[in-house]
Structure 1
Amino acid sequence: MINVVLVDDHELVRTGFRMILQQQPDINVGGEAGTAEEGLRLIRTLVPDIALVDVHMPGMSGIELTERVCRSKLPTHIVIVTVVDDARFPKRLLDAGALGYLTKGCTADELVSAVRQVAMGRRYLAPAVAQQLALATLDGSASPFDVLSSRELEVAMMLVRGKPLTIIGEQLNLSPKTVSTYKQRLMEKLHVDHVLSLAHLMTMHGLIDTPNHHVGN
């Protein structure tokens, strides 16, 4: 039996995935979480074979969750599920230790197939993503975001969602001063001087769907 936990802040997504997976005789959904923090506790408690994890969640992101699970040497394999299918982003997540990558537009068959494949320790990439990764490697195009650490990328994503430094600090367990340092460092690395420019750059590279309208400075 393949034991799975679902980590996504959208209840409808979790319900849909659960309904599809529970129909399979060899798959059991053992738990659900609406945040990455809850998801991490669930993974540590249940130690499932697979965790289906959304990238964009309030608080800790799917990237940080993936890295923490890998650092803790937990046997749980992470399958990332997201609306973003840009090649550079999966590369970052695979580098962080995710074994699978699906987009939310995947079919029920693809979801089940990915879970079974990753449960056997094999990597699964959504076909469109695999193709983009291959092309990105072929033309050698690097994303400007490759220069950021995972923590800097996480801070960048929270900044473009309009979160103030104090809130980012609370959610990542960092002081506002440290968050400010991360912000300054990532902006220098990306050669942008405003969060709006950062949001535009992230949209261009497929890291966010559209710039947030309530972006701060």
Structure 2
Amino acid sequence: MQTLLVVDDHIIVRQGVKNLIENASNNSISVKECSGHEGLKLVRKGPYQAVLIGLTLTSIDPIELVKQIRDDKPGLPILVLCSVDEEQYYGRLFRAGVTGILTRESASDELLDAIKKLFSGGRYISPSLAEKMTGIPSDDDTSLMVTLSDREYEVMVSMVSGKRVKQIADEMSLSIKTVSTYHSRILQKLRLDNDAQLIRYAIEQGVIRDSIAAREKLLVSEFNIKTASLIQAIKEIWHQRKLVIIVIGILGIITYFVVYYLIKFVV
């Protein structure tokens, strides 16, 4: 009998998936279930022929869990259960080492087919997700998101959540210069010009919730940008004014000497 481990923090969800798979397979597949916090420990105890992970894990970052399992069990198939509107994670999931992605909207037959395909050494992507992934143009906002490395994505989430560079550097054990470099790369890869655009982008892509706090941060960021632009404009005007004063001063000196010598030679 083949065994599958279902990892999800919601007891009702994982028990429901367990019952669904066992019934659909006529009990030919044995399913164990656990929370995200227990996932890696049970994988190590094994043996399992595949692991099914819910992307809604809260006890641990699901992508981090995928990486840990992949490091510990390189050949173990990993299927991730996600929503069709979470396409910003597809690239990161595949880079982390998942073997397949299935939507929560999938029927029990598709779920069983996906698991069997993984058991036989294949890969699986829900047809609805495959269409969405292949249909994304190269300059689409979502495809730009998957160009970010995991570290860049972490920095971006921290920044748009309101954390300052020093705080991010301390939490991630990085230098302030390194965080600033990540910041520049993020803006460049996402084709954005400033933090206000980055926050707006993060809200639109579902990276952070569209909340009052997020809107306040957006307004503050836009205000800071406008203030910086105003200060720069004032500096330029002042710089130009100083140039005018210098030019007038030079012309005044030249005029003085011209008049002086004219008077001297005429008189």
Q: TM-score range by the shorter chain?
A: 0.7 to 0.9
The Cα of 1:183 is off from its aligned counterpart by 5.7
User: Aligned partners of 2:11, 2:211: CA distance in 1, in Å?
Assistant: 22
Unaligned runs of 5+ in 1: none
Asked whether the 8 Å contact 2:55–2:80 carries over to 1, the reply is yes
The Cα of 1:101 is off from its aligned counterpart by 0.3
1:108-187 equivalent positions in 2, closer than 5 A: 108-136=108-136, 139-141=137-139, 143-154=143-154, 156-157=156-157, 162=161, 175-176=170-171, 178=173, 184-187=180-183
TM-score (structure 1 length as normaliser): 0.75
Q: Are residues 75 and 101 of structure 1, via their aligned partners in 2, closer, same or farther at CA, if it must alter by over 3 Å?
A: same
Unaligned runs of 5+ in 2: 218-267
Corresponding residue of 2:29: 27
Q: Are residues 185 and 83 of structure 1, via their aligned partners in 2, closer, same or farther at CA, if it must alter by over 3 Å?
A: farther
The Cα of 1:10 is off from its aligned counterpart by 2.1
**Partner deviation per Cα, 1:173-217 (whole Å, 9 max, x = no partner):** x952526857645432232654x7545424544x54853555596
User: Aligned partners of 1:184, 1:59: CA distance in 2, in Å?
Assistant: 29
Q: Are residues 75 and 31 of structure 1, via their aligned partners in 2, closer, same or farther at CA, if it must alter by over 3 Å?
A: farther
Corresponding residue of 1:61: 61
Q: Are residues 28 and 199 of structure 1, via their aligned partners in 2, closer, same or farther at CA, if it must alter by over 3 Å?
A: farther
The Cα of 1:14 is off from its aligned counterpart by 1.1
Higher relative contact order (CA 8 A, sep 6+): 1
RMSD of aligned Cα (Å)? 3.3
Structure number with higher helix proportion: 2
Corresponding residue of 2:43: 43
Q: Which moved more, 1:141-150 or 1:60-69?
A: 141-150
TM-score (structure 2 length as normaliser): 0.62
User: Aligned partners of 1:89, 1:32: CA distance in 2, in Å?
Assistant: 23
Q: Are residues 177 and 190 of structure 1, via their aligned partners in 2, closer, same or farther at CA, if it must alter by over 3 Å?
A: closer
The Cα of 1:115 is off from its aligned counterpart by 0.9
User: Aligned partners of 2:86, 2:163: CA distance in 1, in Å?
Assistant: 27
Q: Which moved more, 1:149-158 or 1:112-121?
A: 149-158
